[in-house]
Amino acid sequence: MSFLLAVILGIVEGLTEFLPVSSTGHLILTNRFAGFDGHRAEVFEIFIQLGAVLAVILEYRRKLFGFAMTLGSRADSRSFVISIAIAPAAATGLLFHDLISEHLFSARMVAVGLVAGAVLILVVESLPLRPRVQAAEATGWKAALGIGLAQCLALWPGFSRSAATILGGLVAGLNRPAATEFSFFLAIPTLGAATVYSLVKRFDALEPGDLFYLAVAFAVSFVVAWWSIRWLLRFVSTHTLRPFAWYRLLVGAALLIWV
């Protein structure tokens, strides 16, 4: 591990965590090209996601604080918190963590996941969907359940948690900005749980000095992710997700040829 690699990993995480292109897939590939792998690399890949989570919390601090303060007095606040709590991928990921790490964290599986996600983006974008929900906080529990189930696709490295949840939101009747914002909110419990579990299970894989590099990657990830959140919301307000699908197909195909 080096200072430069820590910065690069932070940039990659911050740029890709909320874009529908798979942050885990890009981090795995970055580490493979850098010759940094094993359980130690996995801890870095998971931990720096906390920087992106913190970016969401800071960006939406007023909304989150409002929900917390009115949880006992407003039904809409309770409904939204319940919707966010319905995220089965978090529990499923914990149950199959070792199996996923052993068999799916490879360049080939990431490439296949990138292509599969691209195809699904193109399929969903071709559907005659009619958005009924115009704001993330108006997402009902039934739509949230569907989005949570769609999030399980993200257990496949390369598929993308963001792509799965945004596409799930579109199919569930949310418009693009609402589906994107809901994906942001859903990242808080999902990535938070995955990070804590990974640190507890793999902390002994770290080496002396790694905490400094983790802090660097975390800080860079936070700053870049904060910018990425704002950019993506502006983008989806006027564009489809097809450009991300073409990017995924290009990278996935190139990677399959390479491996």
Query: Rounded CA gap, 244 and 247, in Å?
Result: 5
CA dist 183 and 145 (Å) reads 13
Quote the CA–CA distance of 27 and 9 in Å, as a whole number: 7
Q: Which long-range contacts (CB under 8 A, 24 or more apart) does 247-250 make?
A: 247/21, 248/21, 248/22, 248/114, 248/115, 248/117, 248/118, 248/121, 249/114, 249/115, 249/118
In the prediction, which pLDDT does 204 show?
74
Q: What is the pLDDT of residues 119-129, one digit of tens each?
A: 999 999 999 99
Determine the pLDDT at residue 100.
57
- Residues in the chain, pLDDT under 70: 87-105
133 φ, ψ to 5°?
A: -110, 125
- pLDDT, residue 21, reads 93
pLDDT score of 95? 57
pLDDT (tens digit per residue) in 176-208: 999 999 999 988 887 777 777 777 777 777 777
Give the pLDDT confidence score for residue 89 in this predicted structure: 57
Tokens of 240: 């489809």
According to the 3-state scheme, what is the secondary structure of 90-137?
HHHHHHCHHHHHHHCCCHHHHHHHHHHHHHHHHHHHHCCCCCCECCHH
pLDDT of residue 225: 95
**Of 161, 213, 226, 228, residue with least CA distance to 48:** 213
What residues does each domain of the chain span? 3-258
Name which of 102, 116, 130, 139 is nearest 20 in CA terms. 116
CB atoms within 10 A of CB 133: 18
Annotate 199-236 with DSSP letters as a single string. Answer: HHHHGGG--TTHHHHHHHHHHHHHHHHHHHHHHHHHHH
pLDDT for res 117: 94
The two structure tokens encoding residue 184: 């942001």
Predicted local distance difference test score (pLDDT) of residue 103: 55
